[in-house]
Amino acid sequence: MPDARVVVTTDLLLEGRHFRRDWSSGYEVGRKAAAQNLSDVAAMGARPTALFLGLGLPADTDVAWVEDLADGMRDECHIVGASVAGGDIAQCDLVVLGVTALGDLGGRAAITRAGARPGDVVAVTGRLGWAAAGLALLEAGHRESSEPDLARAMDEVIGAHRRPAPPYSCGPEAAALGATAMLDVSDGLIQDIGHIAAASGVGVEIDPAAFEVPGPVGVAGRFLGVDPLDWMLTGGDDHALAAVFPVGIGLPAHWTVIGEVIEGAGVQVDGRVYDRSGWNHFQGKL
| pLDDT above 60: residue 281 | no
The pLDDT score that the predictor gives to residue 131 is 97
Residue 5 DSSP class: -
Tell me the pLDDT tens digit for each residue of 107-160. Answer: 889 999 999 999 999 999 999 999 999 999 999 999 889 999 999 999 999 999
Q: Where in the chain is the domain with CATH 3.30.1330.10?
A: 6-104
Question: Domain 121-285 falls in which CATH fold?
Answer: Phosphoribosyl-aminoimidazole Synthetase; Chain A, domain 2 (3.90.650)
- pLDDT bin (cut points 50, 70, 90) of residue 106 is confident
Average pLDDT on 244-255 reads 96
Read off φ and ψ for residue 191, nearest 5 degrees. -65, -45
| pLDDT above 80: residue 182 | yes
| pLDDT above 80: residue 172 | yes
* Residues composing the chain: 286
| Buried/exposed code over 71-97 (b: 16+ C-beta within 10 A; e: otherwise) | ebbbebbebbebebeeeeeeeeeebbb
Sign (positive/negative) of CA torsion 197, 202, 207, 211?
negative
Q: Where in the chain is the domain with CATH 3.90.650.10?
A: 121-285
Can you tell me whether residue 167 is helix, strand or coil?
coil
Average pLDDT taken over every residue of the chain: 94
Tell me the pLDDT tens digit for each residue of 43-99. Answer: 999 999 999 999 999 999 999 999 999 999 999 999 999 999 999 999 999 999 999
* Residue numbers belonging to the annotated binding site for ATP: 87-88, 113, 186
| pLDDT above 70: residue 280 | no
- Report the distance separating Cα 212 and Cα 140, nearest Å: 25
Distances (CA, A) of 123 to 54, 172, 177, 248: 34, 15, 12, 13
The pLDDT score that the predictor gives to residue 249 is 95
CATH number belonging to the domain at 6-104, selected among 3.40.50.300, 3.10.28.10, 3.30.1330.10, 3.40.920.10 = 3.30.1330.10
* Residue numbers belonging to the annotated binding site for substrate: 18, 237, 279
* Residue numbers belonging to the annotated binding site: 9-11, 18, 40, 87-88, 113, 184, 186-187, 237, 279
| pLDDT above 90: residue 276 | no
Q: How far is CA 92 from the centre of its chain?
A: 27
Whether pTM > 0.85 for this model: the answer is yes
Q: Which of 248, 29, 258, 214 is nearest to 123 (CA)?
A: 258
| pLDDT above 60: residue 286 | no
* Residue numbers belonging to the annotated binding site for Mg(2+): 9-11, 40, 88, 184, 187
